[in-house]
């Protein structure tokens, strides 16, 4: 099979000024086969995006490409092309779809203009021809009513539609190679499904090659023909999709495949990278049945949150973020909350943690209603309900040392005795979440994302709460780090009989963590019940759609389709 693109021994480093030179790629080689899809898979820092950006040379100015590197396409080395020659290729022969469609589209131009511009520039069409062609392309990527939508501005479209427009722009000139850099990461799971199906259809129809970059192995299994697994600027393993998913050779690939929670597997702990790179310590236990019927810690009754939005000088619009939510949390249990963006799941969590004013309804904590309590009483209650946020880079004050971050809650609530007592407690918790004592005097920026999330967990739990709201607590983390954090949360839950309200858009993760769960859509709870039941037998059509949209990974159907 001929290759559309050959990347040979690509070495890229970044000149970081005073901080020296940072090496991003240490000699990466792969071929993108003709009319096929090659997937680059890896975690953050693996160099997958740098590889893709080097192909169309869209790297930042401080990037240094090794002169011995080669990127061959049709017998031409793309790295040796002049800027003007390259410009002819970009957008015509090689096109790119980026992660965030909103920031990739020009907000002050209609989508029709933006697509027609590409057609006139590269194919030399007249404005009239370009306009007709634009309509055809929009129709092809599934924009409803293209005749009218051609005049729409980007903000008038939903995230999924914006990404369709980006894809329309990318395929308008019939490119030989489409580079898709995490094209669905910013989208909801149901929209992701539609975009993936569109990409697969277009790739097949236009006989183009696709370079698909993703961190999600499940997704890759569904659309790639060849897979390259990368880690820390090196290729760990490459091969056909079947080989990678059925007979992975590399320990890292095996670990990546295993540490993602799967719907059909019920582990008590997730395997982590360490287990594979260091097989001696590997231990997997089957999921123990949960002890049902712990005491009720908190009851939420008819909770609602309205936002009033100014739409004019005097006109107001009320948005119901959460409508009438009721549930109760039991000691030692996890209640999973799933839903797509805008479903109100985070609002619910913030209300439970008393971080948002409740519009209607009641939260009853240990028999006491929180309604009409004084600020001082609410502050005392805060000890019992804690929250772990999504982004550990934002939730830790960059000006505080880790020691101060951990000791502050104790100081506020008058716990832990004196200064030395508090420090002792802080050290104890650092050890419990797997960090050394030297962390105490460091600042958050000196830690990786996973370590920061451990600090955030320690801060929440140092007050010995009974209820912890986990608001997308692992969504910003890499797959392998996610697994270790999820394991830590499970261990801590067991040790302290914590009740978790586990909020996530990631159905696999919620399945792994939850005993009970609720499904939310636009502020409503559409389905509730035991997690295992909902996953095996969803009742509400929306739940069914959600579950149907999850990337399946490597399946027998996919194998049959490829054969």
Binding site for other proteins (CB under 8 A): 16, 19, 350, 353-355, 379-380, 382-383, 385-387, 389-391, 394-399, 401, 408-409, 412-413, 420, 423-424, 427, 437-438, 440-443, 445, 456, 459-460, 463
User: Which one, 4 or 390, has the nearer CB to other proteins?
Assistant: 390
Sheet holding 524-530, edge to edge: 385-388, 467-471, 499-504, 334-338, 516-521, 524-530
Closest distance between other proteins and the C-beta of residue 395, in Å? Answer: 4
Instruction: Check: CB of residue 99 under 8 Å from CB of residue 195.
Output: no
User: Which one, 4 or 386, has the nearer CB to other proteins?
Assistant: 386
User: Which one, 266 or 381, has the nearer CB to other proteins?
Assistant: 381
User: Which one, 254 or 354, has the nearer CB to other proteins?
Assistant: 354
User: Which one, 185 or 391, has the nearer CB to other proteins?
Assistant: 391
CB atoms inside a 10 Å sphere around CB 383: 15
Residue 185 DSSP code: T
Instruction: Check: CB of residue 401 under 8 Å from CB of residue 440.
Output: yes
Instruction: Check: CB of residue 228 under 8 Å from CB of residue 238.
Output: yes
Instruction: Check: CB of residue 336 under 8 Å from CB of residue 513.
Output: yes
Closest distance between other proteins and the C-beta of residue 384, in Å? Answer: 11
Closest distance between other proteins and the C-beta of residue 344, in Å? Answer: 17
User: Which one, 47 or 465, has the nearer CB to other proteins?
Assistant: 465
Closest distance between other proteins and the C-beta of residue 107, in Å? Answer: 21
- Tell me which residue of 357, 355, 364, 456 sits closest to 402, measured CA to CA: 456
Closest distance between other proteins and the C-beta of residue 462, in Å? Answer: 9
How far is residue 513's CA from residue 340's CA, in Å, rounded to a whole number? Answer: 18
Closest distance between other proteins and the C-beta of residue 378, in Å? Answer: 9
- Tell me which residue of 13, 6, 31, 192 sits closest to 99, measured CA to CA: 192
Phi, psi (rounded to 5 degrees) for 543: -60, -40
Rounded to whole angstroms, what are the CA distances from 237 to 93, 256, 544? 28, 12, 35
Which conformational region is residue 105 in: left (phi greater than 0), alpha (psi within -120 to 50 degrees), or beta?
beta
How far is residue 214's CA from residue 280's CA, in Å, rounded to a whole number? Answer: 30
User: Which one, 98 or 389, has the nearer CB to other proteins?
Assistant: 389
The runs of H, that is alpha helices, within 413-448 are 419-432
How far is residue 40's CA from residue 231's CA, in Å, rounded to a whole number? Answer: 10
Closest distance between other proteins and the C-beta of residue 396, in Å? Answer: 6
User: Which one, 19 or 561, has the nearer CB to other proteins?
Assistant: 19
- Tell me which residue of 513, 485, 481 sits closest to 500, measured CA to CA: 513
User: Which one, 353 or 518, has the nearer CB to other proteins?
Assistant: 353
Closest distance between other proteins and the C-beta of residue 387, in Å? Answer: 5
Closest distance between other proteins and the C-beta of residue 49, in Å? Answer: 18
User: Which one, 80 or 424, has the nearer CB to other proteins?
Assistant: 424
How far is residue 379's CA from residue 262's CA, in Å, rounded to a whole number? Answer: 39
Strand partners, 304: 360
User: Which one, 283 or 445, has the nearer CB to other proteins?
Assistant: 445
Question: Sign of dihedral through CA atoms 346, 348, 350, 353?
Answer: negative
- DSSP run (H or E) holding 325: strand 316-330
């Amino acid at each position: 099979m001929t290759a559309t693109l050959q990347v040979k021994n690509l070495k890229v480093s970044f000149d970081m000024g005073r901080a020296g030179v940072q090496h991003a790629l240490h000699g990466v080689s792969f071929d993108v086969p003709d009319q096929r899809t090659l997937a680059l898979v890896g975690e953050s820092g693996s160099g997958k995006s740098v590889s893709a950006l080097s192909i169309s040379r869209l790297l930042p100015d401080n990037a240094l490409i090794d002169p011995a590197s080669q990127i061959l396409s049709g017998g031409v080395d793309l790295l040796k092309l002049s800027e003007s020659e390259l410009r002819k290729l970009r957008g015509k022969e090689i096109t790119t779809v980026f992660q965030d469609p909103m920031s990739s589209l020009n907000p002050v131009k209609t989508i029709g203009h933006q697509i027609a511009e590409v057609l006139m520039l590269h194919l030399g069409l007249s404005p009239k021809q370009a306009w007709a062609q634009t309509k055809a392309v929009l129709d092809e990527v599934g924009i409803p009513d293209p005749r009218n939508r051609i005049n729409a501005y980007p903000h008038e479209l939903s995230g999924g539609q914006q990404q369709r427009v980006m894809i329309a722009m990318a395929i308008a000139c019939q490119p030989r190679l489409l580079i898709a850099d995490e094209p669905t990461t910013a989208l909801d799971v149901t929209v992701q499904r539609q975009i993936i199906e569109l990409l697969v259809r277009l790739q097949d129809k236009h006989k183009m090659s696709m370079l698909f970059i993703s961190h999600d192995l499940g997704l890759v299994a569904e659309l790639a023909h060849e897979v390259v697994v990368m880690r820390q600027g090196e290729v760990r393993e490459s091969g056909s999709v079947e080989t990678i998913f059925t007979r992975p050779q590399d320990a890292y690939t095996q670990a990546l495949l295993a540490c993602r929670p799967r719907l059909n597997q019920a582990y008590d702990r997730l395997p982590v990278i360490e287990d594979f790179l260091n097989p001696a310590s590997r231990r997997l236990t089957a999921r123990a049945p949960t002890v049902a019927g712990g005491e009720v810690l908190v009851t939420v009754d008819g909770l609602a949150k309205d936002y009033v939005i100014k739409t004019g000088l005097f006109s107001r619009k009320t948005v119901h973020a959460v409508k009438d939510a009721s549930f109760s949390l039991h000691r030692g249990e996890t209640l999973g909350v799933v839903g797509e963006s805008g479903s109100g799941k985070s609002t619910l969590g913030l209300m439970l943690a008393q971080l948002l004013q409740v519009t209607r309804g009641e939260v009853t904590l240990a028999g006491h209603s929180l309604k009409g309590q004084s600020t001082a009483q609410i502050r005392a209650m805060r000890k019992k309900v804690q929250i772990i946020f999504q982004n550990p880079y934002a939730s830790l004050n960059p000006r505080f040392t880790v020691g101060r971050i951990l000791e502050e809650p104790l100081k506020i609530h008058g716990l832990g005795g004196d200064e030395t007592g508090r420090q002792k407690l802080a050290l104890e918790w650092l050890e419990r979440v797997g960090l050394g004592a030297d962390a105490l005097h460091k600042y958050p920026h000196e830690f990786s994302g996973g370590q920061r999330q451990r600090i955030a967990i320690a801060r929440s739990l140092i007050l010995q709460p009974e209820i912890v709201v986990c608001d997308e607590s692992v969504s910003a983390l890499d797959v392998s780090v996610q697994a270790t954090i999820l394991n830590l949360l499970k261990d801590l839950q067991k040790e302290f009989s914590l009740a978790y309200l586990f909020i996530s858009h990631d159905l696999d993760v919620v399945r792994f963590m939850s005993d009970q769960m609720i499904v939310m859509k636009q502020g409503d709870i559409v389905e509730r019940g035991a997690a295992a039941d909902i996953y095996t037998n969803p009742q509400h059509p929306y739940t069914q759609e959600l579950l149907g949209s999850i990337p399946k990974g490597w399946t027998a159907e996919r194998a049959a389709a490829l054969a």
